[in-house]
């Protein structure tokens, strides 16, 4: 009745159930998998015994003999960040089209978690795709033998592939748009997560330089709407002349939008805002967010496609094909 909770617990196998029900393994298998060639009464007896013993089949043994589908592991920093869920949804969709599984992990935006996640994932999936901030050496160490596709991160060595996010042109267009609207003092709310300035900031800097305006009005912001809000206040505090801001991403932009309203600045008249990512979320706020938009569906599909090539031994896509370009999409905030 009570499942034996001995001090240590050897696994309950199909054999135990068979013995308990007085039949053979195969008959147990038949009962559990709802196959023919089994008497109704016997089946019930087996099912009861299985429940009694708390038996649950080993998915490994089953998968081993049934040659089951491939599973790819998707690692993202934060499931609560809509950008990553959009990517994840895209990857899921692309994987489903191939009949594959996707295991989603988030690393809670902490680098330490990446190791644990990788270690744990390595024996569970056939390939890994995702965002990582750890070194390639560490990646190499924890993903022994698995194909790996990196997103939004340069350089790939050995069996790694990486999908590059190219926002240079998009950011250039965005700055051009702001300048054309008469803005001369454009600030930026960067992501303060990593130590070095972000690539997006560099894009901003070169775009600004191309238009002959300064790009030194930059404030770091945490990865959240609240963070964007406080960062905007800080920026406007030190640089009151700013009339437009470009942000690291849409989350921060939305926070800035909200904060602008609280400060009594109307958007886009008193303050123009341009985000990055092009989240669906940006269309929900008022005014709808202008953003340098990324095609997340393509991003996910591309990642899965590359994984497929690596897995099947086809010729993998080269760096030139593994690019997703971001384009300015106007809402009303700029």
Partner DNA sequence: AACGCTCACGTGAACGCTCACGGGACCAGA
Partner DNA sequence: TCTGGTCCCGTGAGCGTTCACGTGAGCGTT
Q: Return residues touching a second copy (CB under 8 A).
A: 2-3, 5, 11, 32-34, 50-51, 54-64, 66-69, 71, 78-80, 82, 85-86, 88-89, 92-93, 99, 101-106, 108, 120-121, 123-126, 141, 144-147, 159, 225, 254-255, 258, 261, 280-281, 283-286, 311-313
- Residue 191 CB coordination number (10 Å): 21
Least gap, CB of 55 to DNA (angstroms): 7
Minimum CB–partner distance for residue 54 and DNA (Å): 12
Q: Please return the burial class of 202, using the count of CB atoms within 10 Å of its CB with bins 0-12, 13-18 and 19+.
A: middle
Cα–Cα distance for residue pair 153/333, rounded to 1 Å: 29
Residue 280 interacts, among DNA, a second copy, none and using kind-specific CB cut-offs from 5 to 8 Å, with a second copy
Give the binding range for DNA (CB under 7 A) out of 54-62, 179-187, 192-200, 274-282.
54-62
Q: Please identify, using beta-carbon distances, which residue of 84 and 204 lies nearer to a second copy.
A: 84
For DNA, which residue of 51, 61, 135, 154 counts as binding (CB under 7 A)? 61
C-alpha angle 112/141/151, rounded to 5°?
Answer: 65
Phi and psi at residue 246, to the nearest 5°: -110, 140
From DNA, a second copy, none, interface partner of 328 (C-beta below 5 to 8 A by class): none
Q: How far is the CB of 191 from a second copy (least distance, A)?
A: 18
Residues of span 165-224 touching DNA by CB under 7 A? none
Q: What's the burial of 314, exposed, middle or buried (CB within 10 Å: 0-12/13-18/19+)?
A: exposed
Residues numbered 67 to 106 that lie near DNA (CB under 7 A) are 67
| Footprint on residues 5-34 left by DNA (CB under 7 A) | 10-11, 13-15, 22-29, 32-33
Contacts of 143 (CB under 8 A, 6+ apart): 118, 122, 128
Written as one string, the DSSP assignment of 253-277 is HHHHHHHHHHTT--TTTT-EEEEEE
By CB under 7 A, residue 125 contacts DNA: no
**Partner interacting with residue 285 (select from DNA, a second copy, none; CB below 5-8 Å by kind):** a second copy
Q: 158 to each of 102, 114, 123, 144, 246, how far by Cα in Å?
A: 24, 20, 20, 12, 36
Rounded CA separation 205/236 (Å):
19
Among 3, 9, 44, 58, binds DNA (CB under 7 A): 58
Using the minimum distance from each CB to a second copy, give the nearer residue, 68 or 321: 68
Judged by beta carbon distances under 5 to 8 A according to partner kind, the member of a second copy, DNA, none in contact with residue 38 is DNA
Assess contact for 34 and 44: CB atoms under 8 A. no
Binding at 214: pick from a second copy, DNA, none (beta carbon under 5-8 Å per type): none
Contact between 124 and DNA by CB under 7 A: the answer reads no
Which of DNA, a second copy, none does residue 26 bind (CB under 5 to 8 Å by kind)? DNA
How far apart (Å, rounded) are the C-alpha atoms in residues 147 and 164?
A: 17
Rounded-to-integer distance, Cα 302 and Cα 100, Å:
15
Residues that bind DNA (CB under 7 A): 10-11, 13-15, 22-29, 32-33, 36-39, 42-43, 55, 57-58, 61-62, 64-67
């Amino acid at each position: 009745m009570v499942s034996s909770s001995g001090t240590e617990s050897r696994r309950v196998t199909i054999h135990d159930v068979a013995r308990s029900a007085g039949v053979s393994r195969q008959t147990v298998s038949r009962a559990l998998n709802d196959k023919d060639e089994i008497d109704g009464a016997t089946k019930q007896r087996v099912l009861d015994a299985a429940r009694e013993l708390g038996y649950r089949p080993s998915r490994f043994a089953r998968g081993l003999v049934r040659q089951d589908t491939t599973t790819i592991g998707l690692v993202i920093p934060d499931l609560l960040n809509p950008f990553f869920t959009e990517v994840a949804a895209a990857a899921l969709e692309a994987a489903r089209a191939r009949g594959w599984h996707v295991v989603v992990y988030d690393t809670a935006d902490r680098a330490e978690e990446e190791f644990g996640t990788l270690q744990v994932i390595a024996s569970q999936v056939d390939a890994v795709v995702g965002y990582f901030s750890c070194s390639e050496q560490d990646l190499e160490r924890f993903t022994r033998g698995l194909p790996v596709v990196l997103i939004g991160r340069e350089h790939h060595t050995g069996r790694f592939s990486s999908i590059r996010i190219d926002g240079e042109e998009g950011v250039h267009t965005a700055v051009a748009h702001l300048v054309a609207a008469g803005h001369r003092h454009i600030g930026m709310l960067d992501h303060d997560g990593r130590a070095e300035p972000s690539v997006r900031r560099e894009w901003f800097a070169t775009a600004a330089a191309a238009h002959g305006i300064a790009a030194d009005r930059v404030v770091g912001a945490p990865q959240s709407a609240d963070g964007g809000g406080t960062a905007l206040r800080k920026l406007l505090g030190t640089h009151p002349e700013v009339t437009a801001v470009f942000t690291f991403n849409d989350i921060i932009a939305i926070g800035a939008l909200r904060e602008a309203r609280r400060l009594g600045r109307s958007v886009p008249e008193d303050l123009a805002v341009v985000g990055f990512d092009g989240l669906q979320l940006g269309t929900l706020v008022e005014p709808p967010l202008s953003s340098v938009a990324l095609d997340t569906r393509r991003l996910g599909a591309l990642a899965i496609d590359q994984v497929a090539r690596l897995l099947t031994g086809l010729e993998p896509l080269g760096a030139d094909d593994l690019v997703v370009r971001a384009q300015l999409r106007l809402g009303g905030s700029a």
